Structure 1
Amino acid sequence: MSDVVRTIGLTKITKGKELVSNINLHIKKGEIYGFLGQNGAGKTTIMKMLTGLMIPTSGEIQLFGRLLTEKSKAALNRVGSIIEYPIFFDHLTAFENLKLHCEYLGFYDDKAIREALDLVHLKGIDNKQVKDFSLGMKQRLGIARAIITKPELIVLDEPINGLDPIGIKDVRDLILMLNKEYGITFLLSSHILGEMELVVDRIGVIHNGSLINEVTLADIREQRTEYIELITTNVEKTVYLLETELQISNMKIIQDRKIRIYDKTQSQNAISKLLVLHDVEIEGIQKHTSSLEDYFYKQINGGGNSE
């Protein structure tokens, strides 16, 4: 599978501050790639450079196998994007905004505009000006603008920002449909890691301006850990009983009241019985499987404890 996006040593320095450093990114054709990173990690900076909105200080960007430079940006015609908050002409309708955008691109197809609006569920608003749109409606319109020409690569920075649960599911289904039916490659970022887990094929973990890992979601799932999470008001006594009565040593105390038990030799039922027998109050006990969020926090903490 060929790389749609490849960067080599990509670096951006602004006012003496290194925003991102030595980014070697690989996004394969036809995949949904997700950026994971905290605020200020450098995700948006990388996306801006990939879409021509920001000039790198050093390094290379290759789109569809061609070098992207200030003088050679033809490859950007094959890219759609939403970077940060989408901006529109407030006094125009959704259709009028998209038509202006298309004319700027030299793309004239009113039917494609209607199809894009239908795909993001913006129907029956022909006479409504964008100034009267909710935040979620503006986000949907931004996505419509990004997909209208069916580009080969779509870059979406926080595409579900401001959407309600139904809107979030609609966007998720839209991304999956465009990827499957049209073969469109996606680069996404989102703070809702549970949603990313439902969509992406591979992730890149960005931390303090560096790309610290690229890994497939399938590989993460193979590494997942099962554990029992116990909530009690008497952590000290609970730990003592688990160690002395059940010989459990592989556990971790979290936030003073939670204990995560990674030892698989004892069942949840056996642990509950022991604590009830010794009058230890159990506020909650449940079996869990580590999530993408757990993996992410482990990565940015150097592979150690995330809590």
Structure 2
Amino acid sequence: MVHSAASDKQPIVRLQQLTKVIGRRTIIDGLTLDIPRAEVVGFLGPNGAGKTTTIRMMVGLMSMTKGDVLIEGHSVRDDFENAIRHVGAIVENPEMYKYLTGFQNLLHFSRMIPGITKQRIDEVVELVGLKGRINDKVKTYSLGMRQRLGIAQAIMHKPSLLILDEPTNGVDPAGIRELRDYLRKLAKEEGIAVLVSSHLLSEMELMCDRVAIIQGGKLIDVRTIQNGVHLEGTTSQILFEVDRPDDAVKLLAAYDAALMDDGALVRADRDTVAAINSVLVGAGVKVYGIRVLNKSLEDQFLEMTGGEPIV
């Protein structure tokens, strides 16, 4: 899928002050979030945070009390038909006709959408890696393969946004890894935005380009994930392995350095690491290694949400 440079800069989805009130209870409270194209965005939150409610409003299964969702510039509230045509979605397990082959299932769904060619069906089968098994009956598929067939069905009409609510439910570790690889490939090759709601934090860490964390119906943070664990814009715990730890800690007093057996521990961002290294080398302290002791996404999540369980 080819986009112009201008369209690449526009987020595919904009949640604008999205609010849902049921009775006296505010379920979603002024949620504002942009979802860029060609990225996998994780949607995280403790039990009852409002993830599924948000997704249901995004796809028109639940009305909004206030605010709006714009998909490729079209309002879900005022121009639902044009907004939803840009969306492919799977909520939990995709439903398939198990007595039909994978190909027959896709052919059946393609008849509901104008303009889907046999060539496009072959394209999506190739994209999700089911070429060798597409003519087998779905009842012979593993859960991971059914998920991939579901994704093939959801992207046949070339949506800009793919929404997956708990896509790894019941999938074995190998299937989860497959799914993760295909989602990343899809985002990059098809240029689409993928929104994944999940409670598997270790998976989100490997799958997503960024995560949006909600609690009590409010967005509490959006974090960019780099190289699986490093979170942009945040400081990390850095261990400088040196020959003279005591001297290093004195030299780095301004950085609140802590003495460790094999060096000095500081909290720093990327630029500060370079400055600290210069200070140590300039003072004749040998630096044998610089290690990032990152907290996992799970540790950070529990810290931010006060230890509430993720479901």
- Scaled by the length of structure 2, the TM-score of the pair is 0.70
CA contact (8 A) 1:8 1:59 kept: yes
CA contact (8 A) 1:143 1:159 kept: no
Cα separation, 2, equivalents of 1:168 and 1:46? 24
Secondary structure of the residue that 1:118 maps to in structure 2? helix
Cα separation, 2, equivalents of 1:19 and 1:89? 35
Cα separation, 2, equivalents of 1:10 and 1:134? 37
Task: Point out the more displaced range, 16-25 or 75-84.
Answer: 16-25
Instruction: Name stretches of at least 5 consecutive residues in structure 2 with no aligned partner.
Output: 1-8, 240-255, 264-291
Pair 72,150 (structure 1): closer, same or farther in 2 beyond 3 Å: closer
Aligned counterparts, 1:105-184, within 5 A: 105-126=113-134, 128-184=136-192
- Scaled by the length of structure 1, the TM-score of the pair is 0.71
Match of 2:295 in 1: 290
Instruction: Name stretches of at least 5 consecutive residues in structure 1 with no aligned partner.
Output: 229-261, 270-286, 303-307
Following TM superposition, by how much is the alpha carbon of 1:114 offset from its aligned partner in structure 2, in angstroms? 2.9
Following TM superposition, by how much is the alpha carbon of 1:301 offset from its aligned partner in structure 2, in angstroms? 1.8
Cα separation, 2, equivalents of 1:5 and 1:266? 46
Match of 1:212 in 2: 220
1:223 equivalenced with 2:234 (yes/no): yes
Aligned counterparts, 1:276-287, within 5 A: none
Match of 1:50 in 2: 58
Secondary structure of the residue that 2:93 maps to in structure 1? coil
* Aligned sequence identity (%): 40
CA contact (8 A) 1:4 1:27 kept: yes
Of 32, 48, 67, the match for 2:75: 67
Match of 2:261 in 1: 267
CA contact (8 A) 1:80 1:147 kept: yes
Secondary structure of the residue that 2:260 maps to in structure 1? coil
Following TM superposition, by how much is the alpha carbon of 1:68 offset from its aligned partner in structure 2, in angstroms? 1.8
CA contact (8 A) 1:37 1:43 kept: yes
Letter in 2 for 1:25: L
Pair 98,17 (structure 1): closer, same or farther in 2 beyond 3 Å: farther
Cα separation, 1, equivalents of 2:224 and 2:102? 37
